[in-house]
């Protein structure tokens, strides 16, 4: 069955119903393994055990940005190709991305307090991630405000595309501006600068969280399709009663 066949909502529901259970199982296993490795990882000689907040903070950041990237592609799907599931995916991804971004902000704040003496500074990276969080909330508010899902989808698509400018700003903020935040240590030209004993658990945790994201996204998309069916049924019900 080609991926394009999933474009049909009914087929997608069947695919989702089959996939979500085992994807959930794989996610649990991945977490079990990743958390095990994370606990076994050595403490930082300066920060001690608090460095391990990184294992929540970094995946939160990456997935918060990944979700918006996914929403951007979905936005193109809605506006350009008019793919039927594009706006379902966009609407489902928004709250999940918001949650990961919030996790990134809160864990970062708790991590920074012992190091910087404050819960928050207005440096470039933190501010641009906060802006991303606000953009997410704006998108969710827009979804809720416009009654008709397909009209809402087009408005949200435009907002998503404009907001995507924040993603490169977040990525390069630590290079472009003088910030308190640590510079890029994984995705950079040349080798990663983190020691392998920390890098491996970090990548494992990120992989586990990504699987979680995929499972949640499929479940949320399924819910959204069912929600739209309920709405269509209600419209039919109203027109059937004389």
Partner 1 sequence: MSPLAAILVRDIRIAVRVGGGALIGVLFFLVVVTLTPFALGPDIVLLKRIGPAILWLAALLASLLALDRLFAADHEDGSLDLILMGRAPLELVVAAKGLAHWLTTGLPLIIAAPLIGLLLNLDGRAEAALMLTFLVGTPALTFIGLIGAAIAVTLRRGGLLLAVLVLPLTVPVLIFGVAAANAAVAGSVPFGNPFTILCALTLASLVVGPFAAAAALRQEME
Partner 2 sequence: MRLSASDLACRRGGREVFAGVSFSVRTGEALAIRGRNGAGKSSLLRMVVGLIRVAAGRLALEGGDPEMMLGEQAHYLGHQDALKPSLSVGENLRFWSGFLGAAAADIGAPLAAVGLEALVDLPAAYLSAGQRRRLSIARLLAVKRPIWLLDEPTSTLDAAAQERLGEFMRAHLDGGGLIMAATHGVLGLEGAQELQLDQIPSPQAAEASS
Pick the stretch among 3-11, 126-134, 190-198, 229-237 that binds partner 2 (CB under 8 A).
Answer: 229-237
* CA–CA gap between residue 223 and residue 91 (Å, rounded): 11
Q: Which residues bind partner 1 (CB under 8 A)?
A: 109, 118-123, 127, 130-131, 134, 137-138, 140-141, 144-145
| Nearer to partner 2 among residue 191 and residue 241 (C-beta) | 241
| Nearer to partner 2 among residue 113 and residue 234 (C-beta) | 234
- For residue 214, what are the CA distances in angstroms to 70, 99, 210? 11, 14, 6
| Nearer to partner 2 among residue 144 and residue 196 (C-beta) | 144
User: Could you say which of partner 1, partner 2, none residue 235 binds, taking C-beta under 5 to 8 angstroms by partner kind?
Assistant: partner 2
Q: What is the Cα 104 distance to its own chain's centre?
A: 11
The reply on whether position 2 binds partner 2 by CB under 8 A is: no
| Nearer to partner 1 among residue 44 and residue 123 (C-beta) | 123
| Nearer to partner 2 among residue 82 and residue 234 (C-beta) | 234
Smallest distance, partner 1 to C-beta of residue 206, A = 27
Among 2, 3, 189, 241, binds partner 2 (CB under 8 A): 241
Pick the stretch among 33-41, 65-73, 171-179, 231-239 that binds partner 2 (CB under 8 A).
Answer: 231-239
* CA–CA gap between residue 144 and residue 47 (Å, rounded): 43
Smallest distance, partner 1 to C-beta of residue 146, A = 10
User: Could you say which of partner 2, partner 1, none residue 241 binds, taking C-beta under 5 to 8 angstroms by partner kind?
Assistant: partner 2
Smallest distance, partner 2 to C-beta of residue 242, A = 7
Interacting residues toward partner 2 by CB under 8 A: 147, 234-235, 237-239, 241-242
């Amino acid at each position: 069955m080609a991926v394009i066949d999933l474009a049909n909502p009914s087929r997608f529901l069947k695919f989702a119903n089959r996939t979500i259970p085992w994807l959930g199982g794989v996610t649990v296993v991945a977490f079990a393994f990743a958390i095990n490795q994370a606990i076994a990882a050595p403490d930082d000689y300066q920060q001690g055990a608090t460095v391990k907040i990184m294992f929540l903070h970094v995946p939160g950041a990456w997935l918060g940005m990944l979700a918006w990237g996914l929403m951007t592609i979905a936005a193109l799907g809605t506006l350009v190709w008019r793919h039927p599931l594009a706006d379902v995916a966009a609407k489902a991804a928004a709250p999940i991305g918001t949650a990961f971004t919030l996790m990134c902000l809160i864990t970062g704040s708790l991590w920074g307090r012992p190091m910087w003496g404050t819960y928050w500074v207005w440096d470039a990276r933190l501010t641009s991630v906060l802006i991303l969080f606000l953009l997410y909330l704006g998108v969710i508010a827009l979804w809720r405000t416009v009654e008709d899902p397909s009209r809402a989808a087009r408005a949200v698509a435009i907002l998503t595309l404009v907001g995507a400018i924040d993603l490169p700003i977040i990525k390069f903020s630590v290079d472009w501006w003088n910030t308190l935040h640590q510079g890029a240590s994984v995705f950079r030209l040349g080798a990663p600068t983190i020691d392998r004993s920390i890098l491996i658990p970090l990548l494992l945790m990120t992989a586990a969280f990504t699987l979680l994201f995929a499972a949640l996204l499929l479940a949320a998309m399924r819910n959204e399709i069912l929600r739209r069916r309920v709405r269509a049924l209600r419209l039919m019900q109203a027109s059937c009663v004389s």
